[in-house]
A and B are shown apart, each in its own frame.
Chain A
C-alpha cells in the first residue's frame, strides 16, 4: 500500500503517534527516576546545612567539598533540634529541613498567611549555632543558601548555591574564597539588624574588619553580589524576632 506522506491525514497520525511515544517515554523515565532524585535532593539539603555549620571536607583551597557518605547520620549527630517558626510560636519538627522555602515565599504574599520559617539548631565546638535558609535572585535565576549564626547573630559560616549564574563570575559565590569571607561578620548593630552587604570597592579586600557589615564583592558579578546582599537582608530579617526572644 502506497502511503502519501504529504497528506494531512498521514501528518496528523504521525504527530499523534510521536506525541504518545515521546510522552510515555518521558513519563516513564520521570516516574522511575523520581525516588532517586528526591533522595538526592534531601541529601543535598542536609549536606548544605552541615556545610554552613562548618562540618565539611574542605581540603582544597579552591573548591568547596562536603561529606557525601553518611550524610544522614552526620546530620542527626550535629543538628540537635529543628524548629518551625510561625509568627511568635516555634514548634519542634524533625522534618523542618524539608520545608520548601520557595513555596513558602510565594504563599506568604497572600494576606493572612503566616509563613513557616525553618530553623536548625546545631552544636559546634560546644557552642549553639543557628542555621537558617535564605533564597533570592541572582542575575539569571534563583540563588539560595544557608547561614549559620550564633545567638548574637554573628555569622559562623555560610553556604551559597545558584541555579544558573555565569561560570567564572556569578557562579563564584559558591566558591570557598567567597563563602569563607562571611564567617565572623556581624549582622546586628546594637539591636538594629543591618545584614551583610557584598560591597564593591570597599577598603577591606582581605576582609580583616568584621564589624563593617560588608564583604568584598567578586569582580564582574555585581548583580549576583547585590542579589546575595538583598537575600541576606530580607530573609534573615524575618528571624530577628526569634533571636531577640532568645537573648531576653
Chain B
C-alpha cells in the first residue's frame, strides 16, 4: 500500500465534487459571499483555508483522545484561533504587503464553519493522516467554488481579472466596450455571489441526478 490509498484519494476528491462543502453541504457561504468580488482574494482565501484546515485537522486528530467531550467545541475554537493568529503574525512579519491585502480575511477564517465542521465530524474520530487529507480535500472543494465565483464576479462585474482589464477600457471605450458592452455593477455586490453559487449547484445537480433529494 502506498502513502495514499484508494480510501485516501476518496477523502481528497469527494469534497471537490459530490460532497462539496459549499454546494452540497452548504457550509462556508458567509465567506464565499464576502470575498469573491475579485479573483485574487478568492485564491488567497482558498490557500489560507487549505493551510489552516489541513494543519488544524492534524492537531485536533492528535488530541482527539485527550479532549474532554464537554468542552470540545471550545478546544476546537482555540486551536483554529491560535493557528489563524500565528499565520497572521508570520505574514505581517515576512510578507507585509500580502498581509495588508488579506487584512480581515485572515481573521474571517476563524468563523468559517467548514473548519469547525470538519474538526467535529472527521478529525475527532480519525487518525492524523486521513484527517490531514480530509482537511486538504475539503479546503480544496471550498477553494474551487470560491475561485469559480470570484472569476465570474470579477469578469462580469468589473471587466477585469487579477485587476487587469481583459475586456477593454470602459472609460475610453475600447475592446468590447466599443460595441456597447457594459459592466454589470450588480455582480460586485454580495447577492450575486449567492446567485452564482446557486447556478453552480444547479449545474452540478443536473449533471449528477443522484444528488437531487427525493420529495
Contact = CB atoms under 8 A, between A and B. Distances in A.
Interface string A32-71: 0100110010011000000000000000011100001000
Nearest to A44: B96
A40 B90 CA distance: 12
A200 to B, nearest CB: 13
A62 B160 contact: yes
Given A40-B93, A62-B160, A168-B188, A163 B78 contact: no
Contacts of A5: 66, 68-69
B104 A14 contact: no
B37 to A, nearest CB: 3
Interface string B86-97: 100110111011
Contacts of A43: 96
Interface size class on chain A is 20 to 34
Interface residues of B, number: 37
Interface in B73-110: 75, 78, 82, 85-86, 89-90, 92-94, 96-97, 100, 103-104
Given A22-B82, A29-B86, A220 B96 contact: no
A26 B81 CA distance: 10
Nearest to B85: A26
Interface of B: 35, 37-38, 41, 66-71, 75, 78, 82, 85-86, 89-90, 92-94, 96-97, 100, 103-104, 153-154, 157-158, 160, 163-165, 171, 185, 188-189
Given A6-B70, A62-B164, 7 more contacts: A14-B66, A22-B78, A22-B82, A29-B90, A68-B97, A161-B100, A167-B37
17 contacts: A6-B68, A11-B71, A18-B78, A26-B82, A26-B85, A36-B94, A40-B92, A40-B96, A43-B96, A44-B96, A62-B163, A63-B163, A141-B104, A163-B104, A167-B41, A168-B158, A219-B185
